[in-house]
Amino acid sequence: MTGTSLAHAWFLTFMESVKEHEASTLLRDAAIQGRLQKWTEALTAVVIASCEAHGWKGAARGHRSTLLPVARQEYLSLDVVAFDLAGERCWRSPHAVFELENSQDDDRVAYSLWKVLCVRSRLRVVFCYRRDREEGGRLVRDLSKSILSEMAIGERAGLGGETLLVTGCQNEAETFPYGFFKEWVLDLNTGRFSRT
């Protein structure tokens, strides 16, 4: 992933938002304590802030959007959907979509990845939470095998946009946010996630 990619630029903004946002302390404490519902609530606020920093309008539970003709907190049953504010279109496609999966069940994380891959968007991001780095790495490898390797090369190439998997590891929370959050980018050619 190049330094100018949308995914990389968004992740850097996200990390800055984590450091500065009022929900950061709650997010860090929830990560250390494994309080996953609180982790998701705080993470939602930080993701919305990172979208706003990019000039996007985000919609999520507790963050209502009126950008489309139908005002909603959640669109397409996705945790966060962000729209580019440029242009006058009423029914615009999402610019970025996010799933904030706090389940320890690998199939739930796989479902979240599958769900964002089904959406036409310039950026797709799935967050997941694991107890340690080894669990996170295994999950990333398993997701590549279970979802991406089953897609034909043409199907993967046709996804367009960029896809990130962001793992948060509880045993790395003391070095929050840099040790805690790890970004994995999807290579559409190989069908694998790799660290940047």
User: Which pLDDT tens digit goes with each residue over 21-53?
Assistant: 999 999 999 988 989 999 999 999 999 999 999
Q: Which residues contact 9 (CB under 8 A, 6 or more apart)?
A: 54
Cα distances (Å, whole numbers) of residue 52 to 5, 45, 57, 115, 132: 18, 11, 6, 23, 31
Cis previous bond, 94, omega within 30: no
For 150-165, how does the pLDDT look when each residue is reduced to its tens digit (9 = 90+)? 888 888 888 989 999 9
For 179-194, how does the pLDDT look when each residue is reduced to its tens digit (9 = 90+)? 889 999 999 888 889 8
Q: Which amino acid is at 145?
A: K
Q: Which residues contact 82 (CB under 8 A, 6 or more apart)?
A: 51, 54, 56, 57, 58, 59, 94, 95, 96, 97, 98
pLDDT score for 195: 87
Q: 172 pLDDT exceeds 60?
A: yes
For 77-105, how does the pLDDT look when each residue is reduced to its tens digit (9 = 90+)? 999 999 998 777 788 899 999 999 999 99
pLDDT score for 78: 97
Average confidence (pLDDT) over 109-136: 93
